[in-house]
Chains A and B, each alone.
Chain A
Amino acid sequence: MKSPKERLAGIRTQRSEIENHLIDELRAQRLDRRGFITHAARLGMGIPLAGFIATACAERDSLEDADEPNTDAPQQGGTLRVGGQTPSGALNPLLVGDQGGLTVLGQTGEYLTWSDGELALQPRLAEKWTPNEDGSVWTFNIRQGVTFHDGRPLTARDVTAAFDRMANPETGGNALSALTGVISPGSAVATDDYTVEFNLEAPNGNFPYLTSSDNYNAIIIPADDDPAEWPSTFIGTGPWKLDQSRPDEGFTLVRNPDYWGKQPVAEKIDYTFYGSEQAQILALQGNEVDVLVQFSVSGGKALLTNPDVVTTELRSSAHRQVHMRTDTDQFADKRVRRAMALLLNRSAIVDGLLDTKCELGNDSPFAPVFPSTAEGVAQREQNIDEAKKLLDAAGMADGFSVTLETWTNFEMPDYAQLIQDNARAAGIRVNLSITDAGTYYGDAVYGNSRWLDSTMGITEYGHRGVPNVFLGAPLTTEGTWNGAHFRSEEYDGLVRDYVAALEPEAQTTNAKKIQELLLDESPILFSYFYFFLSGAGSYVSGVETTAMGHADVSHAGII
């Protein structure tokens, strides 16, 4: 029998140049195991293979510390009761833009790839994916023998139709935030019944993530179906299919007997919508549900200390952005923005606001969870003296007044108050304007939105498996969510380079330049990246959540 080392040598002869380069990086310990698996999966290498290579190559790094989930095997059959947030709008796969809606999409629908809790891509409807040399064309091999719940077969045409719809600006689809500038209608071409070629507008090393559960609108439905009709069918290819829909209250799913993969453990899922976080938490405490998809630190402290509830926390890139208008008023001077950043007591924010269920941010979208985030960039810490010096140099030694806009969402109002308190140390008088979501977002277009027009504001951003969206929409010159009105040709160029890079070290090199530039310019404060928290009764095992908000309960059941 061959040793792992010998088998590795054999494997390397069959892998591409880029993949071999990745293995070299792992052996040289410039990539850890987790980073290697993530990058390998992105390039289309299977997770089991990547895991074997990582084991064979090096002393393995210990994986993430996490609370041990219940590993007892669940019993087959029965009904699992799941509680989730009420979707904020119609369950149209094209338009869903909130956690309540995306969790529903992922129950009966499936993606080409699945971004797991470790941010590694796993095959789902795509069995394999490979880039061309510069990452401008990606070829996906679609799984054969898959059928939709009504018996129609899945083909490449269903995939191209889904991406054409999502990339069409006229539909106003939610996925445009991720796909604009990457693909447009017609970019996805079916070269045969089971192969799709994505011809990108520019090289993109992270493109497979845009086909994954991270781009939660990208479930594949039959090409000829109208997404607006989806709420009445829940049609997809997933392990569950719709049994009964109870609009605004929830739905019941049953096993899909024709599923291509393993059959679900439970017989049935009773999914209940909850309009408030408090109601969800009470439902779990009161044994009304077995699984709670998500809760926040601010609302769910009772669950964290409840011995009857097993909570799971996942590192994520979800965060709050505090933008400062770089084109007008006080913050036009970057020294003032830096001063504001230096006034924040981030440790107090992490401890007090989020009960340590988060990681520190360093004023760039590069969350510690991203493998491409460069190490060695000094963490920004509170330095009131330095802040005062910067304000003095900018001619604002006496401070100034500014209005901070945000809306009542989880801990955001408390965060605003902490900023207000911290800023006072340098004479900056922060007036708070805390409204509802509708007032804050307005029409969500420049000129008619507090979010995009205010001098300073706090906006929430959900998790993504790669930082591309965070780097683009809120910070690039053409960005559609650029509340800071930040414009820098140098930054735009660095982002283009980062997005195009296929090799991990090229991504990290570019990431470092972006991190340093953003620390200098500080158009947006990124103080923390909070964990994704979910909970289940201690008698439940097998629930798999992602930081995006998906809950895969197909392997879950009662112990």
Chain B
Amino acid sequence: MRRFILNRILLSILTLVILSILIFLTAQVLPGNVGRAILGPLADQASVDAKNAELGYDRGLFTQYWDWISGVFTGDLGDSAVRSRSVGDILAGAIGNSAKLALLAFIIVVPLAVLGGVYAALKEGTLRDRLISLGGLSATAIPDFVWAVVLITILPLGIGIFKPTATAPPGSNVFEQVYYLILPAICLVFVLFGYIARMARAGTLEALDADYTRTAVIKGLPQRSVIRGHVLRNSLLPTIAVVATQLGYLIGGLVVIEVIFNYNGLGRELLIAAQRNDLPLLQSGVLIVGVVYLVATLVADIMYSVLNPRVRLGAEA
């Protein structure tokens, strides 16, 4: 088990190094330059060059990369190129906001989708199964921004409940913050429900069809015990993997939702950084999204192995 985890961590670190190089090189090909982004289009070229030199952007690529990546390890992500704030401050606020939204969406969607998927599997072939499966799939097929616009039009603008923006006023308590976040969270529930429920359904069907379930039934165990003790434990394996990979999307990929609901999450910050050529913010932000993906995948792998010893034994063999 320990060896399995160590292997996974080493692989994650290697992936992270490759990812950081890719991010750094990709950021270099964006049009414009940092000095120009700071001083604006009217600054003379000499001032722009001087600013680039002051910030170290006239040095070799390797030196720049090394400075950046060593700064990441010491917690010094530098300053934003176009905003008079440190990258660390900006990203900390944005990640906190994204995490709040992701958490709320997860709290709603994971139990709902897992229950829905398991229930659909148990009622396989019935109208209820079709309703859950097709309904979930249809909801997932509709893009998140469409849900956002429809929900805003019907709820805050039509009926007058919930808020069209997700940022609560300063000094709001937890309940007020949740009230502001509920609408974007519902959009995410619609988008994620079908996918997670489908996985839970497929896993449950597979588990229901497995020999160990048949044996448990033949042994005469009550149906509730069979489902709780044999089916659910195994059926949730693929669902865990799906949920984990969605975490990265929820933390850094909700660009459109965050823009529509005027929410300062990580996705919106990354979009703004890319548009304004704010390389220090963009590089570190993308790296953090990568870290979230890797950590989520790592946690999923570990949980998977805990629940299913065949996985770790296969990896250790």
- A and B: partners? yes
Residues of A bordering B, CB below 8 Å:
86, 88-92, 95, 97, 169-174, 176-177, 228, 231, 244, 246-249, 252, 270, 272, 274-276, 278-280, 282-283, 285-286, 288, 436-439, 441-445, 480
Residues of B near A282 (CB, < 8 A) are: 152, 156-157, 164-165, 260
Residues of A near B82 (CB, < 8 A) are: 88-90
State A302–B80 Cα separation when bound (angstroms). 36
Question: Are A444 and B36 interface neighbours, CB within 8 A?
Answer: yes
Which of the listed residues A171, A174, A282, A288 has the most CB atoms from chain B within 10 Å of its own CB? A282
Closest 6 CB pairs of A and B: A172-B43, A444-B41, A172-B39, A286-B164, A279-B262, A282-B164
* Chain B residues touching A, majority SS: loop
Given A275-B259, A275-B262, A247-B85 contact (CB < 8 Å): yes
State A89–B84 Cα separation when bound (angstroms). 8
State A231–B262 Cα separation when bound (angstroms). 21
Residues of B near A92 (CB, < 8 A) are: 84
CB of A211, distance to nearest CB on chain B (Å) = 19
Partner of A442, one of B31, B260, B275: B31
Question: Are A438 and B276 interface neighbours, CB within 8 A?
Answer: yes
Residues of A near B71 (CB, < 8 A) are: none
Residues of B near A441 (CB, < 8 A) are: 32, 41
Question: Are B275 and A285 interface neighbours, CB within 8 A?
Answer: no
Given A276-B262, A438-B30, A480-B42 contact (CB < 8 Å): yes
B277 within 8 A of A: yes
Query: How many chain B residues have a CB neighbour from A under 8 Å?
Result: 43
Question: Are A286 and B40 interface neighbours, CB within 8 A?
Answer: no
Question: Are A172 and B275 interface neighbours, CB within 8 A?
Answer: no
Chain A residue nearest to B81 (CB atoms) is A89
Chain B residue nearest to A170 (CB atoms) is B47
Residues of B near A444 (CB, < 8 A) are: 36, 41-42
Chain B residue nearest to A473 (CB atoms) is B42
Chain B residue nearest to A282 (CB atoms) is B164
> For window 156-172 of chain B, which residues contact chain A by CB distance below 8 Å?
156-157, 163-165, 167, 169-170
Question: Are B165 and A286 interface neighbours, CB within 8 A?
Answer: yes
State A441–B33 Cα separation when bound (angstroms). 11
State A231–B82 Cα separation when bound (angstroms). 13
Given A279-B259, A279-B260, A443-B33, A246-B42 contact (CB < 8 Å): no
Question: Are A438 and B93 interface neighbours, CB within 8 A?
Answer: no
Residues of B near A272 (CB, < 8 A) are: 165, 167, 262
Chain A residue nearest to B180 (CB atoms) is A288
Residues of B near A480 (CB, < 8 A) are: 42
Residues of B near A278 (CB, < 8 A) are: 259-260
Partner of B272, one of A169, A275, A285: A275
CB of B295, distance to nearest CB on chain A (Å) = 26
State A126–B39 Cα separation when bound (angstroms). 29
Chain A residue nearest to B90 (CB atoms) is A248
Chain B residue nearest to A283 (CB atoms) is B165
Question: Are B42 and A249 interface neighbours, CB within 8 A?
Answer: no
State A177–B37 Cα separation when bound (angstroms). 17
B297 within 8 A of A: no
Question: Are A172 and B32 interface neighbours, CB within 8 A?
Answer: no
Chain A residue nearest to B166 (CB atoms) is A279
Question: Are A246 and B170 interface neighbours, CB within 8 A?
Answer: yes
Which of the listed residues B42, B169, B276, B277 has the most CB atoms from chain A within 10 Å of its own CB? B42
Question: Are A438 and B90 interface neighbours, CB within 8 A?
Answer: no
Residues of B near A90 (CB, < 8 A) are: 82-84
B211 within 8 A of A: no
State A441–B41 Cα separation when bound (angstroms). 8
